[in-house]
């Protein structure tokens, strides 16, 4: 059964008949399926590693309207995997750069570019305008937001996620199977699961998972095939192994279960533990302030919570290496009479590290290096690698 009703079928021009002839030759797609693709509206949340191939293949396939939500600018580190962008797009909004590339690929495409952050205030309005949502995000608050919005609006959520060499993909659709919360009832503790920006990712991996998402979107629009509803596809590209796990709907799910307790969008930053609701602020120091304190002989000890492979990319001279996972059990090694300055790549995991030590009862003075070792590389060790 197709998402697109018969009364929305869009006629194809002679040029489109030629352009999509390889689809038209497939009995499972054919003329009617291509007309459904032209009539369809797909929202892509995130124009990054997953969103880039997803958008390109949906545009090439003839999906009539694509919405793209993202608020980032194109950075050099994106180009290793976000193949929709090039060097000329650096420092441009991702939505604008993606729109230009997609229009160049398919000038008949209609693109709605949302250069904004998807939030509880705007998600329902935006999602309601589309037939299907494809989640290409890389953070838990937005994944829960997209998942809940799709449940409330009865939209299929074509989901994928990636990390290092591994990825997973499925289709969440609460009226026909499980939703995102059926698989992940609660988020992991803050800092436990690093992002791709902190843990790395093999460049081709999001290309593979993004095209899987595109295939799932096309099947839902055309109708037929076997969508990944109730099935989680797992892939390890380093070992080149794949597997599939059955997903069942959770009858006690707080959003799509028999007696849901969540009936509206919530504050997802707070839900995922990314908002510290306690009154105390975590003090921070800038790279230049830390440099001044170290050169001035202050009683300061730098604690590097990065993993060994990260420290090999940038070594902070004089820092004591204590990986994040070892901090709490090694807290007695720290001198409470000395100011501890915690460092990581961008200054995010080090915030979680300080909170974890506070919760474990450590009472000494602790500071966060604002923007992490990348700020130190830019502002102090000029010419050092920013990774």
Whole-Å CA distances, 385 to 103, 365, 373: 35, 30, 10
Render 8-67 in DSSP notation, one character per residue. G--PPPHHHHHHTHHHHTSTTTHHHHHHHHHH-EEEEE--STTHHHHHHHHHHHT-SEEE
From 150, 182, 196, 272, the catalytic residue = 196
Q: With beta carbons less than 8 A apart as the criterion, state whether 386 and 357 touch.
A: no
> CA 35, 66, 19, 160: dihedral to nearest 10 degrees?
-100
253 is catalytic: no
State how far Cα 293 lies from the chain centre: 37
In terms of phi and psi (left: phi > 0; alpha: psi -120 to 50; beta: otherwise), the region of 178 is: beta
**C-alpha angle 179/265/132, rounded to 5°?**
50
Q: Could you tell me the pTM of the whole model?
A: 0.81
DSSP 8-class letter at 229? B
Contact 380, 287 (CB under 8 A): yes
Half-sphere exposure of 68 (CA within 13 A, CB side): 32
HSE-CB for 96 with a 13 A CA cutoff: 11
Please name the residue that has the structure tokens 């000038």: 107
Who's near 110: CB < 8 A, 6+ residues apart?
64, 65, 66
CA-to-CA distance for 237 and 360, rounded, in angstroms? 38
Those residues whose C-beta lies under 8 Å from the C-beta of residue 186, and which sit 6 or more positions away, are none
- 196 given a catalytic annotation: yes
Enumerate the domain spans of the chain.
6-271, 284-379
Q: Between 2.60.40.1930, 3.30.1440.10, 3.40.250.10, 3.20.20.10, what CATH number should domain 284-379 receive?
A: 3.40.250.10
Nearest alpha-carbon partner for 94 in 136, 134, 144, 38: 136
Alpha helices in the chain (DSSP H): 14-19, 21-24, 30-39, 51-61, 94-105, 123-127, 140-153, 180-183, 196-199, 204-222, 268-271, 287-295, 308-311, 349-359, 372-379
Residue 181 token pair: 């919360």
Nearest CA-CA partner of 373 in 299, 309, 308, 305: 305
CB 66 within 8 A of CB 55: yes
Torsion of CA 350, 356, 359, 365, to 10 degrees: -30
DSSP β-ladder status, 300-304 and 231-236: unpaired
The Cα 92–Cα 378 span in angstroms is 21
CATH class of 6-271: alpha beta
CB atoms near residue 184 (< 10 Å):
13
- Predicted pLDDT at 193: 67
Average pLDDT by consecutive 10-residue portion of the chain (387 residues)? 88 95 96 97 97 97 97 93 95 96 96 95 97 95 96 97 95 96 86 69 95 98 95 96 95 93 88 61 93 93 90 89 91 94 92 90 94 92 77
Q: Which of 150, 182, 256, 344 does the annotation list as catalytic?
A: 344
Enter the DSSP assignment of 109.
-
User: For residue 194, what pLDDT is reported?
Assistant: 65
Q: How many residues does the chain have?
A: 387
Closest to 254 (Cα-Cα) out of 309, 180, 198 = 180
Pairing of strands 231-236, 65-69: unpaired
Judge whether 363 and 336 are in contact, CB under 8 Å: yes
Instruction: State residue 201 phi and psi, 5-degree precision.
Output: -160, 140
């Amino acid at each position: 059964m197709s998402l697109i009703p018969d009364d929305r079928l869009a006629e194809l021009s002679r040029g489109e008949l030629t352009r999509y002839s390889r689809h038209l030759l497939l009995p499972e797609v054919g003329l009617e399926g291509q007309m459904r693709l032209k009539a369809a509206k797909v929202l892509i949340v995130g124009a990054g590693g997953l969103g880039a191939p997803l958008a390109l293949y949906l545009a090439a396939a003839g999906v009539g309207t694509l919405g793209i939500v993202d608020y980032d600018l194109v950075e050099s580190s994106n180009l290793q995997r976000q193949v929709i962008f090039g060097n000329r797009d650096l420092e441009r909004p991702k939505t604008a750069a993606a729109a230009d590339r997609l229009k160049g690929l398919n000038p008949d495409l209609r693109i709605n570019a949302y250069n904004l952050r998807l939030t509880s205030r705007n998600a329902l309005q935006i999602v309601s305008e589309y037939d299907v949502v494809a989640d290409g995000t890389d953070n838990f608050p937005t994944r829960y937001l997209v998942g809940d919005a799709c449940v409330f609006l009865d939209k299929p959520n074509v989901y994928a996620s990636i990390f290092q060499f591994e990825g997973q993909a499925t289709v969440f659709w609460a009226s026909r199977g499980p939703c995102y919360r059926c698989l992940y009832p609660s988020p992991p503790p803050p800092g436990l699961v690093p992002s791709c920006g902190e843990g790395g990712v093999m460049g081709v991996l999001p290309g593979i998972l993004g095209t899987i998402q595109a295939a799932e979107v096309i099947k839902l629009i055309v109708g037929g095939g076997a969508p990944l509803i109730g099935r989680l596809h797992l892939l390890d590209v380093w070992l080149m192994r794949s597997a599939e796990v059955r997903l069942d709907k959770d009858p006690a799910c707080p959003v799509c279960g028999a007696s849901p307790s969540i009936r509206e969008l919530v504050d997802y930053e707070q839900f995922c533990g990314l908002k510290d609701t306690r009154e105390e602020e975590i003090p921070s120091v800038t790279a230049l302030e830390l440099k001044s304190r170290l050169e001035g002989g202050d009683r300061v000890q730098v604690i590097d919570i990065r993993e060994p492979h990260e420290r090999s990319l940038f070594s902070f001279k004089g820092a004591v290496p204590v990986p994040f996972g070892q901090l709490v059990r090694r807290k007695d090694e720290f001198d409470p009479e000395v100011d501890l300055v915690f460092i990581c790549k961008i200054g995010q995991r080090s915030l979680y590290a300080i909170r974890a030590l506070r919760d474990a009862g450590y009472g000494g003075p602790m500071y966060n290096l604002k923007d992490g070792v990348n700020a130190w590389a830019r502002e102090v060790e000029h010419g050092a690698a920013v990774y």
